[in-house]
Amino acid sequence: MSSRSLEISCNSDRLDFNKVTYNPIPMHSTIITLCSNPLVELSGLIFSLLTPLSFAASSELSAEFEQAKGNSLHGIQLPAGYTASVFCIDVNGADGLALSSSGDIYAVSEADGCIYKIDENGCKESIADGFRNPEGIAVSGSGMIYIVEDIEEGRLIGITPSGDTEVITEDLSFPEGVAVTRDGNVLITESSIESELLFPIFSEVKQVNSEGLHSIYSSLYLWSLSDIAVDSSGTIYVCNELSGYGFITASVIRIDPSDGSWSVFCRGLHACEGICFDVNGAFPMYVVEEDTGDGSGRISVVDEDGVATVFGSGFQNLEDIVVDRSGRIYVSEDTSGRIILIRKKTHEG
């Protein structure tokens, strides 16, 4: 693996051209309360395995959305008073997003195996490459960047503030999510559902600290854990990307890190892929649904009671979401390679 700086690309000259104000959409609850019996979840997975699963749009849907690539954002719907603009382009296979304490945005290019640093003007610079299917990314308060590789023997890799890379742990099973707690511990998600071997099926959250790598949560439920986030109290929340397929309804799992106890926090979302909190780990929680079933991505907000409402729809396949200290929302579109900025409309805008 090498660390290098590539050509800097800036999208600031496109921002005004792409800025669009959207008509409001009805805010409605998407919560669905169904049985959480593991047999129901098992039936859901069996149903799903018998039906070709795809977390991306079909070729037909991709063709329909081809017109939305480039500068078109007209299919996106947001609440009244919000605008969206293309913040950065050409992040091939855009995936995980993270914010540093200084306000820089880091974006994962899964297709190119590299990490971009994006400044406030949407100018991007590759800071490291050579990764294999990188997906999740997180930045600690000290500026340490953590990346996980979503492969059979995935690695947790760190990038120091000086740009050096180091393998922290390896032999992980398709890790997708990574987060850093307030005390500096690193959390990662693992799931076996992508493995060529059907059994054993498991989902797990592991923690890396000064004592090494250990499990804080594991389950035989038929879930595939994707992104992970920690609220201001230290409670852990994890997305289930199988939510909405077959009879699987568990969308977000809540975990107590002190004893590993857990509960289903939110149900009824579809293909949950990315998750984050508002400023300082406070609610509401934001969840991106990669594909709602018609090839389009959606943003939902979830309150402290686990009730979800639709915030934005009409995106292409979404992968991750972050919110900065000013309340600006950034989402990554896998299929278009765009980072989209959502913010409240100003009187001047």
Mean pLDDT, consecutive 10-residue stretches, the chain (349 aa), reads 43 38 34 40 44 36 35 84 96 97 94 97 96 97 96 96 95 96 96 69 91 91 92 97 93 96 96 96 97 94 98 97 96 97 80
C-alpha 249/C-alpha 271 separation (Å) is 10
Domain residues for the domain of 316 are: 12-344
- Domain membership of residue 5 (yes or no) is no
- Domain membership of residue 3 (yes or no) is no
CATH of the domain at 340: 2.120.10.30
Name every residue whose Cβ is closer than 8 Å to that of residue 298 and which is 6 or more positions away in sequence.
Answer: 270, 288, 289, 292, 310, 312, 313, 315, 318
- Domain membership of residue 7 (yes or no) is no
| Domains of the chain: total | 1
- Domain membership of residue 240 (yes or no) is yes
Predicted confidence at residue 14, as pLDDT, reads 39
CA distances from 277 to 51, 232, 238, 303, 329 (A): 33, 9, 12, 10, 11
CA distances from 322 to 33, 107, 327 (A): 27, 11, 10
What does pTM read for this prediction? 0.82
- Domain membership of residue 67 (yes or no) is yes
Tokens at 4, concatenated:
């290098």
- Domain membership of residue 262 (yes or no) is yes
CB-CB contact of 92 with 109 (8 Å): yes
- Domain membership of residue 306 (yes or no) is yes
C-alpha 66/C-alpha 254 separation (Å) is 37
C-alpha triplet 216, 319, 37: angle, nearest 5°:
50
- Domain membership of residue 137 (yes or no) is yes
